[in-house]
Amino acid sequence: MSSLTAALYGALIVYLGGWFLGRWTGNFSLLLFVLTVVTFGYWLAERWRFKPAREAAAAAIERQDAARRAELARMGIDKVDGDVAQAKAQALAQPWWLDWTAGLFPVILVVFLLRSFLFEPFKIPSGSMIPTLLVGDLILVNKYHYGLRLPVLNTKIVANNDPQRGDVVVFRYPVDRRLDYIKRVVAIPGDEVSYRNQRLSINGQPVATTSLGDFYDDDRMSYSPQFSEKLGEVEHRILVDPRRQAYYGPDPKRFPGAENCRYDAEGVTCKVPPGHFFVMGDNRDNSQDSRFWGFVPDDHIVGKAFFIWMNFGNPGRIGSFH
């Protein structure tokens, strides 16, 4: 078993190393599920086989010592050298390959359950959600807000709230489901959403914005016009830079549901199909989002982002956000 455990740890190190070096894209949910299953197998074996075997060996040592002392006592020898306590301790000691598998199972199980059904941490890797979220923000995602889903498969088993306009959501990137993206929901199923000449409209009504002056981006060392925008009941900040307006056409985009969208040089107008959502980054001119790769299916949604729990470069950012 020690050789098997060493081989499993070797495979884990290779997988994590290749992931860290960018040789392949890892799947942490799948990895955590596999670790839970494997350590559970070791935990069962420890509980029902290995631990009883060690306890039986320790009991045998104690019986042998008692028999030896009784025999010596019959011979008139009262003082007997030797202490079986150390031998019993060695017999009961858990070997390293059980300590690092079965011993870790309770911790891995708790992490797996919390991460799969309650809260999952994410790190913001890009500036597409500036000024709401900055690069390096460590956030928490509420995974049960939109309903409970099976881990790995992401299949909803218990329905809860539906995503609403203004929600910041984490989802599987429709182009590559191995990647997680974070954007803001701007339109829900049945909405007609339009983003033309850097102005957002929902069902023919322009979304109200208020100028807040310029925002200074520390990473880019530049200023961008900042606005307050209200989507549904959520008021949040966005960046819109006339100098960096995106180019949309005239060629039609190719993605599932593209027939629901109309593109031209001024922007895009889409009818959101059932079971899908239209998402955008708050940094409107520096975000790859539904304008370019299409709608987010409901079964791609991971959860609702709601809290910054750390930013090592700026601890003052800790707290909730809109």
Told to judge if 123 belongs to the known catalytic residues of this protein, a careful annotator would answer no
Gap between the Cα atoms of 93 and 87, Å rounded: 10
CATH of region 120-320: 2.10.109.10
**Backbone dihedral region for residue 299 (phi beyond 0: left; psi -120 to 50: alpha; all else: beta):** alpha
Which residue in 29, 88, 116, 183 is the catalytic one?
183
Parallel/antiparallel/unpaired status of strands 261-264 and 267-271: antiparallel
Gap between the Cα atoms of 237 and 239, Å rounded: 7
Which residue in 29, 88, 116, 128 is the catalytic one?
128
Q: What residue ranges do the domains of the chain occupy?
A: 2-112, 120-320
Query: Using CB atoms within 10 A of its CB, is residue 45 exposed (0-12), middle (13-18) or buried (19+)?
Result: middle
pLDDT at 250: 46
One-letter identity of residue 232:
G
CB distance 35 to 108 below 8 Å: yes
- pLDDT one digit per residue (tens) for the chain, 322 residues: 788 888 888 898 998 888 888 888 888 888 999 999 999 999 999 999 998 988 888 888 888 877 777 777 777 777 766 677 787 888 888 888 889 999 999 999 999 999 989 999 999 988 899 999 998 899 999 999 999 888 887 888 888 899 999 999 999 999 988 889 999 999 999 999 999 989 999 999 999 899 998 888 776 677 888 999 999 888 999 999 877 766 665 455 678 888 899 888 888 999 999 999 999 999 998 899 999 999 999 999 999 999 999 988 888 889 988 7
Token pair belonging to 258: 């593209």
How far is CA 308 from each of CA 113, 229, 278, rounded to the nearest angstrom? 21, 21, 24
Give the list of residues 6+ apart from residue 262 with CB closer than 8 angstroms, or none.
268, 269, 270
pLDDT at 101: 92
pLDDT at 224: 84
CB distance 66 to 84 below 8 Å: no
pLDDT at 61: 82
